Amino acid sequence: MTLTDVVRGVLAALHLPGGWTTAVTALAAGVVLLFLWILPVVTYMIWWLRRLLGFMQSRLGPNRVGPEGLLQTPADAIKLLTKEDVIPALADRWMFTLAPALVFIPAFVVYVTIPMGPGLVAQDLNIGILFVSAISSITVIGIVLAAWSSNNKYALVAAFRAAAQIVSYEVPLAIALLGPVMIAQSLSLNTIVATQIASGWFLLYQPIMFLAFVAAALAENNVTPFDIVEAESEIVAGFHVEYSGMKFALFFLAEFANTFTVAALTTVLFLGGWHNPFSAIPFVAQMGESGRGALASLLGEKGVLYGLIMHLYPFAWFTLKSFTLVSIIFWIRGTLPRIRVDQLMDFGWKLLIPLGLINLTVVGAFVALSWPLWALAALNWVVVVGVLLIGQTKKLAPVETTALPVIQGASRR
């Protein structure tokens, strides 16, 4: 039973006219409920980024507006809503207004098929992977239109960079997506999670695909260190340089929504989705069954509260894994420097794509010949550990520095 089925049942229980109980109405209501959850999550990801980077850089971060600065992001949203909406005189007004929506809407539509727990999905498509890949590709159209309609040459340069970057990294991203698909023998995200619950997380079997997927997803979403699209020193903040007010906020929210999408998809494809990792321990599994039985006897197996708790428990695991990955992405964002455009292209075309194709061939051979997955895991981890050891032994060339002359009598301030 999906989220849409639950909404359809509620609509039917209200005895509304027949048109209200159609699948389209239920799906729309499910999408609205999903949006009402995703929007606050994405909004407070901005607060968490500021607090986390402040902690890592020995700063305070937002701590004035509301307790622990929790109201800072809503205050920023109100400020952006009330700011003047400036449209350049020579801009194409219709395209200039439409472009933020073309970037913002796909960033949230992808969540329609992402399962966040048993039944906690708006629509369980049997081609969920293809849906996510197709919807994510629309973003580049909005970016190019935003720059072109602004009639700003700096924005257009940034849009060309973005188009080249996104199109280039869609290839290794698609290759990395095929690894879990081949093992699960399905394009459904629910089936991929169910396969991991039965046989083990795909991170254990395909660490190379996991690392390639995360790197390609960060590059496709213009996240540091792949944020050359918004290189302030070169192209004046990027393709949205002419945008202000709420239109700029839509671009900003889409970036954070895409960051959470990367974390959610990584959780579903490689980290078992909502699966509790400790349930594989017999003692913990036995305690869980005992607790579930006691809760069922107390609340009743058909009780609303019992059903709600049984859905919220796996949802909490999914959320914990996703926000752990979000924190790691923010950690990378505050640690690594921006790479050059030639390094960006070389990394995608000369490393990720060949590595992904080789790994995909190996995975295909294991699946076709029905070889054990533990052998695939051993092969992958040997390669990963070997690369790390080679990297440890490779020393960087010393940097020659010359001491600056000391000026006698100069005072320090």
Evaluate if residue 165 carries a pLDDT over 60: yes
* Averaged pLDDT for residues 307-316: 77
> What are the residue boundaries of the structural domains of the chain, listed by start?
1-82, 85-278+298-388
Number of helices followed by number of strands (H, E) in the chain: 17, 0
What pLDDT score was predicted for residue 20? 47
More confident site: 1 or 138: 138
Task: Rank 222-231, 308-317, 332-341 by mean pLDDT and report only the highest.
Answer: 332-341
How many Cα neighbours within 13 Å face the side chain of 171? 16
pLDDT at 298: 66
In terms of phi and psi (left: phi > 0; alpha: psi -120 to 50; beta: otherwise), the region of 222 is: left
Mean pLDDT on 113-124: 82
Burial of 350 (0-12, 13-18, 19+ CB in 10 A): exposed
pLDDT at 145 over 70: yes
Q: Angle 245-270/207-220 helices, nearest 10 degrees?
A: 170
**Average pLDDT over every residue of 247-265:** 88
The token pair at 98 is 């439409």
Nearest to 379 by CA among 209, 230, 197: 209
- Residues shown for the chain: 413
Least confident of 27-41, 254-268, 285-299, 307-321: 285-299
Give the predicted TM-score (pTM) of the model: 0.84
Residue type for position 352: L
> Average of pLDDT values for 132-140?
87
**For 11-15, 106-110, 359-363, which range has the lowest pLDDT when averaged over its residues?**
11-15
At 399, give phi and psi (nearest 5°).
-95, 125
pLDDT at res. 413 = 46
Q: For 187, which DSSP code?
A: S
Residue 403 has pLDDT above 90, yes or no: no
Residue keyed to tokens 């796996």: 314
> Average pLDDT, stretch 62-80?
88
pLDDT of res. 405: 64
Would you state the structure tokens that stand for residue 269, as one six-digit string?
A: 């494809």
Instruction: State pLDDT tens for residues 271-304.
Output: 988 888 877 676 666 766 666 666 666 666 666 6
Q: Within its chain, how far is the Cα of 208 from the centroid?
A: 18
Averaged over 144-169, what is the pLDDT? Answer: 86
Q: Is residue 397 scored above 80 in pLDDT?
A: no
Q: Where are the beta strands (DSSP E) in 155-291?
A: none
- Is pLDDT larger for residue 186 or for residue 235? 186
pLDDT for residue 268: 93
pLDDT score of 95 more than 70: yes
Q: Which of 1-10, 29-38, 374-383, 393-402 has the lowest mean pLDDT?
A: 1-10
* pLDDT of the residue at 321: 92
Judging by beta carbons within 10 Å of its beta carbon (0-12, 13-18, 19+), is residue 259 exposed, middle or buried? buried
DSSP 117: S
Contacts of 239 (CB under 8 A, 6+ apart): 143, 144, 146, 147, 150, 155, 156, 158, 159, 162, 229
Q: Note if the bond before 225 is cis, omega within 30 degrees.
A: yes
Q: Provide DSSP, 233-266.
A: HHHTTSTTTT--HHHHHHHHHHHHHHHHHHHHHH
- Whether the pLDDT of residue 242 is over 50: the answer is yes
pLDDT at residue 381, rounded to an integer: 92
pLDDT at 399: 58
What's the confidence (pLDDT) of residue 156? 86
The percent of residues in the chain predicted with pLDDT above 90, rounded, is 15
Q: Which of 8-12, 146-150, 214-218, 377-381 has the lowest mean pLDDT?
A: 8-12
Kindly state the average pLDDT of the residues 253-274: 89
> What is the DSSP secondary structure assignment for residue 348, as one 8-state letter?
I
**Residue 323: pLDDT over 50:** yes
* Angle formed at CA 68 by CA 62 and CA 72, multiple of 5 degrees: 45
Mean of the per-residue pLDDT values of the chain: 81
Q: What is the pLDDT of residue 270?
A: 93
| Cα gap 103→101, rounded to integer Å | 5
- Check residue 199 and give its pLDDT: 87
Compare 376 and 312 and report the one with higher pLDDT. 376
pLDDT, residue 357, reads: 92
